[in-house]
Amino acid sequence: MNVALCEYGAGNVRSVEVALRRLGVTLTSDVVDADLAVLPGVGSARSALAGLRESGHDVALRARIEAGQPVLGICLGLQIALEWSDEDGGVEGLGLLPGRSERLESGRIPRIGWAEVEGRGTFYFAHSYAAATPCATAWSEGVVAEVRSGSFVGCQFHPEKSGPDGARYLAAVLEEATSRSLA
């Protein structure tokens, strides 16, 4: 299957590339027709969104969601898919699903380290913002860890940096994306 990694113009996507290649996918730059499009979790909201708007990927991503084609958002990738992010003084998101990205309120921030996601496993987190959305499907210590809306799946953790649990999670996302493509 082929997977498109959206580029923000800044930030290391190598970890995600490596993780996806290990699972046997072919990476493509075609966000429109790929079996799965991935929004990686690097950088900050304002610059990532600017990068997506400049490349036209924002339009392509909205079209994919409207057509029921799979999109995976990782960490920042989940946050910018929402309608709004409080990061960088506040910035409008892609609106692929309802909700906002808000600054964490308790504990040390950034929230960095491994934590259990109820029903999913243990994963690595590194974030200062989290989703407030009706589409949450899994939590970690009270923080939204996963969201789903139509063909969009978002995870606040980094599956590409979460060892075996992370690899399994990515494999499951790929499997689901494959099923959708065949449907």
Partner 1 sequence: MVKGIRFKELRDVGDPVDLAAAYSDAGADELVFLDITATLEARATLVELVGRVADRLAIPFTVGGGVRSVADAEELLDAGADKVAVNSAALERPALITELAERMGSQAVVVAIDAQGGRVRTRAGTTATARTAVDWAREAVECGAGEILLTSIDADGTRAGYDLELTGAVAAAVPVPVIASGGAGGAQHVAEALEVAQAALLASILHEDPARLASLRDELRALGVQVRSVEVRDAA
Catalytically active residues, by annotation: 75, 158, 160
Backbone phi, psi, residue 22, to 5°: -60, -30
Q: Which is nearer to partner 1, 50 or 167 (CB)?
A: 167
The correct pick among 9, 10, 29, 56 for binding partner 1 (CB under 8 A) is 10
Quick one: which of 36, 37, 40, 43 contacts partner 1 (CB under 8 A)? 43
* Site membership for partner 1, residue 86 (CB under 8 A): no
* Interacting residues with partner 1 between 54 and 73 (CB under 8 A): none
Kindly identify the residues of this chain, within the stretch 139-168, that bind partner 1 according to CB under 8 A: 141, 158, 160-164, 166-167
**SS3 (DSSP) at 39:** strand
Residue pair 43/74 in contact by the 8 Å Cβ criterion: no
93-122 mask for partner 1 (x: CB under 8 A)? ---------------xxxxxxxxx-----x
Strands 2-5 and 26-28, how do they pair?
Answer: parallel
| DSSP-assigned states of every residue in 68-119 | T--EEEETHHHHTTSSEE-GGG-EE---SSS-EEEE--SSSSSEEEEEEETT
Give me the least distance between CB of 68 and partner 1, in Å please.
30
SS3 content of the chain, % helix, strand, coil (to 5): 35, 30, 35
Pick the closer one to partner 1 by CB: 86 or 116.
116
Candidates 83, 45, 75; CA nearest to 146 is: 75
Q: Which of 124, 152, 157, 169 binds partner 1 (CB under 8 A)?
A: 124
Cα–Cα distance, 179 to 183 (Å, whole number): 6
Q: Enumerate binding residues for partner 1 (CB under 8 A).
A: 10-12, 14-15, 18-19, 42-44, 76, 108-116, 122, 124-128, 141, 158, 160-164, 166-167
